[in-house]
């Protein structure tokens, strides 16, 4: 069993169990062999580094074997202390002896690689394989831009550099996005994607995968003076032009190891690549030689793992949750499992397409991943454990009967989108908090003092159920809330009263109609002038509005086709929310010196906020967009302007400062 899973992991790059499960089986085999030495065989997985040469790739005999290192699975500080104790014992150091100096670095989750340089030129790249014989992947490795084809300042006859080929998480996500756009299979994780890319028979295929590399060790060396410490070797690598991780340190004794382990554990989820632990190495090469090896591993190094981020469990059911924006998310109800440092019983399946692509069904054994504070997710199915009575593939619409499980409104999925959504909007309890916060934000009705925590209290206490309830609040109901003083309550009521007088554009934006942002709300208000005309507008009339396309028009029509949304609008008007019908185009009679001009804002202006500048420009007739193109007339740039400023200069577009903008706005039309 262990050999089978090892073959899938190392040879086929298609593991069917998580690393933690493999480690458990490996440790179980070690224990059995220790208790029954007569069962130990030369071909046991514990006696060699697993792997084989794939057909089609030329075998390469390593001049110096590529051995693995021991793994310390005790993820507590005790794991570091155990290693330090073993080293001190092997070196015969008593308690009075100074601390051992260690090089501490990251344990990358990728594919081990040996790079052979002759006279400073890359001549061969080989995978680890079985440790004795690997695979020639030179042409593929040449496609990785991080790996130098010639070393800087090195002309030694032979210098073999060992390290890890890996894929950054952002590159992995981008690759999967491209796969989805092409309608092709997505990849499960960065490690196996990197390994598969390296072992392609066609280097052109490898070149399409965004791979990276870190150097961390030596193989055969001829004619190069090896530094006296491991840290010195890494520094030398960096000077040669080889990529070396900056997350490394030389530390003193067990406490230094523990400090590094804790620090990297806290940083783990923020790293742009995956690690599953850290590696400790006795820094002195002289002490390394003195310590030597045991069977398959050096005594002077160990990998100290973190809590497993992947585990196996069973899907007991699939629920559909409604998010704050109406998005419907399938959630796997799991047999509870300890993963990522906590017990997990729910894991997101993201959406119907992702669930069907992974073919997750009720009754399946799945691999669950939880990294740090990230929501647990199902990353794959263990197909060889699928029961005969497994459920059907997920059909979200059929499962819900086409209706939101919370409010009963129709669910819809726009063309080209992966997410189903509840159309209940203002009416749906699951979307209530989001709807209130959006309605009250500064760019909408601008209710100062109505923030996240207060909305949570109001909704959770049942004081507010719909938007019109905001304008029914009184001092008594507010004073009953925790940490709500009389003065704060009075200020909030005054701000609510003030917010009732608004503009049609702000009101439309505040309703939270999908795809209707500030600019579109202004376009709709200008075009129709009155809310009733907009609510009754046909799709054809909506499409007459400048910059309103089929998706926006359909979204507006769907919103106002829901009786409960119309009812909320009428209740808001009855509560006193109002605007003049001319508010649809409040600046119609004002001069428009920038009519038809397209402007982009970037950076921080000296006195104007981004919103203030945008308001001034739009009042002058300009259209403010978020990206620079050939259609852009001006880019208004402030401090710390970024890529938009670079793009403007590249396209020869005029760049204005705040003073020039104000002068432009003051000029006669």
Catalytic-labelled residue, pool 82, 107, 185, 398: 107
Token pair 């809590």 in the structure block, residue: 307
Cα gap 336→325, rounded to integer Å: 28
Buried (b) or exposed (e) across 18-43, using 16+ Cβ within 10 A?
Answer: bbbbbeebbeebeeebeeeeeeeeee
Cα gap 403→408, rounded to integer Å: 5
Say if strands 121-127 and 212-222 run parallel, antiparallel, or are unpaired. Answer: unpaired
Cα gap 593→458, rounded to integer Å: 46
Report CA-CA distances (Å) from 117 to 131, 147, 150.
Answer: 19, 11, 8
Cα gap 553→515, rounded to integer Å: 9
Q: Which residues are within 8 A (CB) of 366 and not within 5 positions of it... i.e. 6 or more apart?
A: 312, 313, 314, 315, 332, 334, 347, 360, 378, 379, 380, 381, 382
DSSP string, 371-391: -TTSPPEEEEE-GGG--TT--
Radius of gyration for the chain, computed over Cα atoms and rounded to the nearest angstrom: 32
The residues facing 625 across adjacent strands are: 600
The reply to whether 107 belongs to the active site is yes
Q: Which residues are within 8 A (CB) of 203 and not within 5 positions of it... i.e. 6 or more apart?
A: 139, 140, 142, 143
Residue 181 corresponds to which tokens in the numbers above?
Answer: 């756009």
> Catalytic residue numbers?
107
């Amino acid at each position: 069993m262990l050999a089978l899973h090892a073959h899938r992991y190392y040879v086929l790059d298609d593991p069917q169990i998580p690393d933690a499960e493999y480690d458990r089986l490996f440790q179980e085999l070690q224990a059995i062999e220790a208790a029954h030495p007569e069962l130990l065989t030369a071909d046991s997985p514990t006696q060699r580094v697993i792997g084989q040469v794939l057909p089609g790739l030329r075998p390469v005999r390593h001049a110096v074997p590529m051995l693995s290192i021991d793994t310390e699975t005790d993820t507590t500080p005790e794991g570091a202390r155990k290693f330090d104790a073993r080293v001190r014992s092997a070196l015969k150091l008593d308690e009075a002896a100074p601390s051992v100096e260690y090089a501490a670095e990251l344990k990358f989750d990728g594919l081990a690689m040996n790079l052979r340089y002759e006279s400073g030129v890359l001549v061969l790249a080989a995978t680890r394989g079985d440790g004795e014989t690997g695979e020639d992947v030179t042409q593929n490795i040449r496609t990785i831009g991080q790996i130098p084809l010639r070393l800087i300042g090195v002309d030694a006859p032979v210098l073999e550099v060992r390290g890890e080929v890996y894929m950054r998480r952002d590159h992995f996500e981008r690759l999967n996005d491209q796969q989805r756009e092409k309608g092709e299979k997505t990849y499960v994780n960065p490690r196996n994607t990197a390994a598969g890319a390296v072992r392609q028979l066609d280097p052109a295929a490898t070149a399409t995968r965004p791979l990276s590399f870190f150097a961390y060790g030596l193989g055969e060396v001829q004619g190069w003076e090896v530094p006296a410490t491991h840290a010195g070797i890494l520094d030398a690598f960096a000077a040669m032009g080889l990529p070396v991780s900056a997350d490394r340190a030389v530390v003193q004794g067990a406490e230094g190891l523990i400090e590094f382990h804790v620090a990297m554990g806290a940083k783990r989820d923020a790293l742009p690549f995956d690690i599953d632990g850290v590696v400790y190495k006795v820094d002195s090469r002289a002490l390394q030689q003195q310590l030597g090896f045991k069977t398959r591993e050096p005594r002077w190094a160990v990998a100290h793992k973190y809590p497993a981020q992947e585990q196996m469990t069973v899907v007991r059911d699939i629920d559909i949750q409604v998010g704050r924006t109406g998005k419907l998310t399938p959630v796997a109800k799991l047999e509870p499992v300890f993963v990522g440092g906590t017990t997990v019983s729910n894991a997101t399946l993201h959406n119907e397409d992702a669930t069907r692509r992974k073919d997750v069904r009720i009754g399946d054994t799945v691999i669950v991943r939880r990294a740090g504070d990230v929501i647990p997710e199902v990353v794959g199915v263990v197909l060889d454990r699928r029961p005969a009575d497994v459920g059907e593939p997920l059909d979200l619409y059929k499962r819900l009967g086409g209706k939101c499980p919370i409010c009963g409104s129709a669910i819809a999925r726009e063309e080209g989108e992966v997410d189903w959504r509840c159309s209940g909007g203002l009416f749906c309890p699951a979307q209530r908090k989001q709807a209130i916060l959006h309605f009250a934000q500064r760019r909408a009705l601008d209710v100062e003092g109505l923030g996240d925590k207060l909305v949570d209290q109001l909704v959770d206490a049942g004081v507010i159920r719909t938007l019109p309830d905001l304008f029914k609040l009184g001092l008594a109901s507010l004073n009953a809330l925790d940490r709500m003083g009389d003065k704060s309550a009075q200020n909030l009521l005054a701000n609510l009263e003030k917010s009732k007088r608004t503009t049609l554009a702000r009101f439309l934006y505040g309703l939270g109609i999908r795809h209707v942002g500030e600019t579109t709300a202004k376009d709709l208000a200008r075009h129709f002038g009155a809310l009733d005309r907009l609510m009754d507008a046909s799709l054809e009339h909506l499409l007459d509005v400048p910059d309103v396309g089929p998706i926006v028009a359909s979204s507006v029509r769907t919103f106002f086709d829901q009786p409960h949304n119309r009812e909320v609008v009428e209740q808001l008007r009855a509560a006193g929310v109002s605007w003049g019908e001319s508010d649809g185009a409040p600046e119609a009679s004002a001069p428009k010196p920038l009519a038809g001009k397209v402007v982009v804002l970037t950076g921080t202006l000296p006195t104007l906020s981004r919103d203030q500048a945008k308001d001034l420009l739009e009042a002058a007739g300009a259209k403010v967009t978020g990206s620079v193109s050939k259609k852009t007339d001006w880019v208004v740039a402030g401090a710390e302007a970024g890529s938009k400023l670079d793009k403007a200069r590249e396209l020869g577009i005029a760049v204005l400062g705040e003073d020039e903008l104000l002068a432009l706005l003051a000029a006669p039309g």
